[in-house]
Amino acid sequence: ESFGRAVQAQIYRAGLFGRTPRVPVSPDALEAAARRRMSRTAWAYVAGSAGRERTAHANRSALDRWEIVPRMLRDVEDRDTGVELFGARLPSPFLFAPVGVLEMAHQEADLAVAAAARELGVPMVISTQGSVPMEETAVALAETVRWYQLYWPGDDGLAASLVRRAEATGAAAIVVTLDTDLLGWRTRDLDLAWLPFGRAMGIAQYLSDPVFAELVAERASRPRQDAPVKPGLAALKTLAGIARRYPGGFLRNLTSPLPRAAVETFLDVFSRPALTWEHLAWLRERTSLPIVLKGLQHPDDAALALDHGVDGIIVSNHGGRQVDGAIGAIDALPGIAERVGGRIPVLFDSGIRSGADAFKALALGARAVLVGRPYVYGLALAGADGAREVVRNLMAEFDLTMALTGRTTTSDITRDALR
């Protein structure tokens, strides 16, 4: 039995006993249910985008403009939805996109997503803005493929430390996110005057880092009225534990100089707007892992990526969270795929809400796709089970879409499948 049919059968069978899915299958119903479940601030942070949110809208409308043209009578009984990426065979073209501050959606945060990823065999991209230290997420992933997403910090020592830790936790690639060297103009968050990082949420990778601990110690020891504290690594680990167990309550409960110094240090080192293409050589010297650039939208940048010897590209506009009024991400894909010409894998995200959307992205040249908000909505509704069900449903619909359009392998999904 095929994956798509198996999932359908499971859902309809439960229906015979009066059970309907706890996590809605319809993307719109999923979003509406998550909105009802999540706090105002969490909803704003997760669902919100930059400015008037025209880019997020364009992500959807651009995907909807492409239409699939199915083919018939091609023997689609046996299908393989798998893709090959950096030497690993993946069961489907889906990955869990790096999403920070997951504690806003669910207390188990990254650990719940890791459990979902493990059960599905679907890779997870661990975020630098994680709510759980990457070492713990890696344990929860067991043998599942994990990549590490790097926000390149202002401090080189910290950057090197994060990459070292990612290697030690078995990351199969380093994803450098390029579109967020500064936070976008996020109107919903601004109107609530609410930013998670200022509350020590989503900074577990930093709080658990030995180099970060030194930076905090240095800042805390600078002369000021109330800062005689010199935190060691253990103290910072404890703080990370507190932050994790009491999402949101960390700073309210602790007003001592230490967490304040930690948050201030984070705000100091988070961004690196001075980053240029030349810095990639520095990273190349420090890791032999594949380097994947996330957030490219211009074919010339794809050409520069090739010139600088990177191993993969993710065409993405961060789900519309960074620049308002930018092109729909899928409209950037064909030009970049053409420029890359198959030399390195091109991946895609921003706006994927269905198996059919993923099919379109593959037809336009993507090897695989990352999913962001939808699994966060599942996480908010039902923890690990919810995140797993959302991606399982995407995989099922993708499988059925392949069958119903006359494709038996992902490499059969070519440009002529679309109009």
Which residues are at the interface with ligand FMN (CB under 6 A)? 45-46, 59, 97-100, 127, 129, 149, 177, 294, 316, 318-319, 349-352, 370-373
Torsion sign over Cα 201, 369, 358, 92: negative
* DSSP conformation letters of 75-91: --SS-B--EEETTEEES
CB of 239 to ligand FMN, least distance (A): 20
Burial 393-412 (b: 16+ CB within 10 A, else e): bbbbbbbbbbbbbbbbebeb
State the helix-helix crossing angle for 329-340 and 54-65, rounded to 10 degrees: 60
CB of 369 to ligand FMN, least distance (A): 9
* DSSP conformation letters of 19-54: ---SS-SSHHHHHHHHHHHS-HHHHHHHH--BTT-H
Q: What are phi and psi of 44, to 5 degrees?
A: -60, -45
Does 318 qualify as catalytic in the annotation?
A: yes
* DSSP conformation letters of 343-366: SS-EEE-SS--SHHHHHHHHHTT-
CB of 59 to ligand FMN, least distance (A): 6
Tokens read off for 14: 């439960």
Judged by CB, which is closer to ligand FMN: 134, or 258? 134
Distance of CA 32 to the CA centre of its chain: 21
CB of 349 to ligand FMN, least distance (A): 4
Judged by CB, which is closer to ligand FMN: 58, or 217? 58
Tokens read off for 294: 């996330």
Which distant-in-sequence residues (6+ apart) come within 8 Å of 260 by Cβ?
251
| H or E stretch at 8 | helix 3-16
Judged by CB, which is closer to ligand FMN: 183, or 404? 183
**Do the Cβ atoms of 416 and 404 come closer than 8 Å?**
no
Judged by CB, which is closer to ligand FMN: 111, or 258? 111
CB of 262 to ligand FMN, least distance (A): 18
**Do the Cβ atoms of 212 and 204 come closer than 8 Å?**
no
Judged by CB, which is closer to ligand FMN: 149, or 297? 149
Catalytic option among 57, 106, 279, 318? 318
Tokens read off for 153: 């910090």
CB of 350 to ligand FMN, least distance (A): 4
Task: Work out the angle at residue 292's Cα, subtended by the Cα atoms of residues 212 and 65, and round it to the nearest 5 degrees.
Answer: 125
In the complex, residue closest to ligand FMN by CB: 372
Q: What are phi and psi of 287, to 5 degrees?
A: -150, 145
CB of 414 to ligand FMN, least distance (A): 24
**Do the Cβ atoms of 68 and 405 come closer than 8 Å?**
yes
CB of 123 to ligand FMN, least distance (A): 13
Judged by CB, which is closer to ligand FMN: 55, or 403? 55
Judged by CB, which is closer to ligand FMN: 53, or 349? 349
Judged by CB, which is closer to ligand FMN: 129, or 169? 129
Which residues are annotated as catalytic? 318
